[in-house]
A and B are shown apart, each in its own frame.
Chain A
Amino acid sequence: MNILTLPLRHTGAKWARTFLLTAVFTLGLASMSGLYQVSGVIADNFEKKLISYGANILVTPKRETLRISYGGYSLGDVIMEEDPIDLATAQKAIDAMPLRANIAIVAPKMLAMTRLSGQTLALVGVDWEQELQLKGYWEAEGEFPGADGAFEALAGAEAARKLDLRPGQSLDIDGKTLRLAGVLKATGSDDDSALFVPLKLAQDIAGKPGQASFLEVAALCSGCPIEDITAQLQEAMPDSEVRALIQVAESRMYSVHFAQNLAFSVSLVILVTACAMLIMSMLSSVAERRREIGIMRAIGFSRSSVFAVFVSEALGIGLLAGTLAYVCGRFLTFYVLGELHMADAAPTDFEALPFFALILLAAATAGLAAAFPAWRASLVEPAEALVAL
């Protein structure tokens, strides 16, 4: 039996109050823990979905420009010949990056020119699988080429209008016959005037096998800033120019962070409410137990001992609530993610760090919430407390 016996016995004697207080605190912490985990999974999932709205990094060959002027009259800039990107080398360099896991999609492009139906047309050679992941916003009349799609093409809306192209029609391009799988609906971008063909065909036409004019990269930025990823990409591909499409990255991260901030705000409100209840409960407990405090002081307990009795009672409730909240938070996470059809993404392993962090948070919050009522308790004068009754 020591000083901790007092809060322990008191919480046991007032079990209904203890139960309610622990339940409220557990609810607050479990909501916080659950929302934190759910928001993490949702943000991750959200970002993965957002990458289908285009690249956020552009990798182009380094180019040299020459400014020509004579006699004060500018003739403009001339781009010197640039070396295309070697895909095998680029892939190897990307795979070796420390932040490789953050690179979700690498979509190579080879640009070439061809003539079709007597008109000059821009060909864009693409890797169908990567391209269709990156352009999740594309809609097509007809169908999209399959992942292999070695003899299929996709026409932009404007190109199809000019050349009167229809889905299913055959196209003769540089001696190869391709089937036009679909016609893209207008996107308002350069895609509208292009004809998308298999990467290999465009490489053959351009006479640059195994190479790409540029790469569009979709990176996941919730774990680290886009600047870190571009810096590593640049280091991995020194002969290329790596540019972050900052606006795209930031607007994407805004959406991701919005979900996280919303969850955090809701959690904070719940936790503050739980703390307020704890403070109110402890304050009423101090008022209710003035006689008890008076006795402690009358038999020689110091103010700090009285303070310790009340704070340790709250700490005990905090520790219990923290443990229960971890378990309840896990169930909450599974339930919510199940409702959102994302149960597969729910964390299943026990993680010590979040567990102990939650316990620590619970104990610290409860201790802080109880500090003021406990301080009030320590100020109770024994004679006033005992004689007033």
Chain B
Amino acid sequence: MNEKNLLQARGIVKRYPGAERPAVDHLDLDIGAGEFLSIAGPSGSGKTTLLHILSSLIQADAGQILFQGQDICAAPEAVRNRLRGLVFAVVFQQHHLLPYLSALENVLLPFLGGIKPARAADIATAQAMLSRVGLAGKENSRPGQMSGGEQQRVAIARALVRGAQVLFADEPTGSLDSVNGAAIIQLLRELNSEGLTVVMVTHNDEFAAQSDRIVRMADGAIQTLS
């Protein structure tokens, strides 16, 4: 397999009901394994929509998303659920932690899709992941007791706890101050250096510049690659 074709978008079109033009318009994109890709562009350019299509959070109206050569758009919902649970990880601008669970329990959440309780190994993995994002000792803290940056780290730990191959980050620093924002980018950079493929949507050129490649979008299409 070519390094460039871990994830490929081919002729992707997405039009929201009532919209004048497509949010994503016949877009092609290749993402390589272990790449750190930033998708930049003005508001309404379609970058978030593209990220959601790539991560299988939403379905494209037309086109293909090939993951390791397999079209995931045509896959049944159960397969897409499994992809989101095991292979893809998504973090958002808002951390979206469950306020009534501790940091450790939030990170364990992906293990709780069934009636079987989380195993001791799962708990150990979650604790290790919290340590990896620099939150050792914060396992029992509730989201309300943590800073915005810490909460975003918990969200990243939760996204990656099941060993995802690709992390999709939608404006992960958008709700953070510059110091915490820079720390999150640094964390993503470290995770990427450990082999994680990162696809990040950002408005911030300074943060985008830290990625391997920048895709700039406008009007639902890619304008430039750098």
In whole angstroms, how far apart are the Cα atoms of A384 and B17 in the complex?
A: 13
Main SS at interface, chain A: helix
B96 with A302: CB separation less than 8 A:
no
Chain B contacts for A2, CB-based, 8 A: 112, 114-118
A299 with B98: CB separation less than 8 A:
no
Interface size class of B (residues with CB under 8 A): 35 or more
Residue of A nearest to B117 (CB): A2
A-B contact count (CB 8 A): 88
Q: A13-B100, A299-B159, A300-B84 are in contact. Are A387 and B117 (CB under 8 A)?
A: no
Q: A1-B118, A383-B52, A387-B48 are in contact. Are A301 and B113 (CB under 8 A)?
A: yes
In whole angstroms, how far apart are the Cα atoms of A12 and B83 in the complex?
A: 32
**Residue B124 lies at the interface, judged by CB distance under 8 Å to chain A:** no
Taking the closest CB of chain A, its distance from the CB of B7, in whole angstroms, is 17
User: Which stretch in A116-124, A256-264, A287-295 binds the other chain?
Assistant: A287-295
Q: A381-B58, A387-B48 are in contact. Are A301 and B81 (CB under 8 A)?
A: yes
**Residue A382 lies at the interface, judged by CB distance under 8 Å to chain B:** yes
**Residue A389 lies at the interface, judged by CB distance under 8 Å to chain B:** yes
**Residue A386 lies at the interface, judged by CB distance under 8 Å to chain B:** yes
B58 with A302: CB separation less than 8 A:
no
Q: Which of A289-331 contact B (CB under 8 A)?
A: 291-292, 294-303, 305, 308
In whole angstroms, how far apart are the Cα atoms of A3 and B115 in the complex?
A: 6
Chain B contacts for A298, CB-based, 8 A: 57, 84, 90
Mark A216-254 against chain B: 1 for CB-CB distance below 8 A, else 0: 000000000000000000000000000000000000000
Q: A1-B118, A383-B58 are in contact. Are A300 and B82 (CB under 8 A)?
A: yes
Mark B66-94 against chain A: 1 for CB-CB distance below 8 A, else 0: 00000000000110011111100110101
In whole angstroms, how far apart are the Cα atoms of A131 and B108 in the complex?
A: 78
Taking the closest CB of chain B, its distance from the CB of A33, in whole angstroms, is 31
**Residue A115 lies at the interface, judged by CB distance under 8 Å to chain B:** no
A1 with B117: CB separation less than 8 A:
yes
**Residue B174 lies at the interface, judged by CB distance under 8 Å to chain A:** no
B100 with A386: CB separation less than 8 A:
no
A1 with B112: CB separation less than 8 A:
yes
In whole angstroms, how far apart are the Cα atoms of A292 and B101 in the complex?
A: 12
B113 with A3: CB separation less than 8 A:
yes
Chain A contacts for B101, CB-based, 8 A: 6, 9
One of B52, B81, B83, B112 near A3 (C-beta < 8 A):
B112
**Residue B32 lies at the interface, judged by CB distance under 8 Å to chain A:** no
Residue of A nearest to B87 (CB): A300
Taking the closest CB of chain A, its distance from the CB of B226, in whole angstroms, is 26
Chain B contacts for A300, CB-based, 8 A: 81-86, 110, 113, 162
A302 with B113: CB separation less than 8 A:
yes
**Residue B105 lies at the interface, judged by CB distance under 8 Å to chain A:** yes
A3 with B114: CB separation less than 8 A:
yes
Known: A381-B58, A386-B92. 20 other contacts (CB 8 A): A1-B105, A1-B112, A1-B117, A1-B118, A2-B114, A2-B115, A3-B112, A6-B98, A6-B112, A9-B101, A9-B105, A13-B99, A292-B98, A295-B109, A300-B81, A381-B57, A382-B84, A383-B57, A386-B57, A387-B170
Where the two chains meet, the residues of A that have a C-beta atom closer than 8 Å to any C-beta of B are 1-6, 9-10, 12-13, 291-292, 294-303, 305, 308, 381-384, 386-387, 389
Where the two chains meet, the residues of B that have a C-beta atom closer than 8 Å to any C-beta of A are 48, 52, 57-58, 77-78, 81-86, 89-90, 92, 94, 96, 98-101, 105, 108-110, 112-118, 158-159, 162, 170
17 A-B residue pairings within 8 Å (CB atoms)? A1-B108, A1-B118, A2-B118, A9-B105, A13-B99, A13-B100, A299-B84, A300-B113, A300-B162, A302-B77, A302-B81, A302-B113, A305-B114, A308-B115, A382-B57, A386-B92, A389-B94
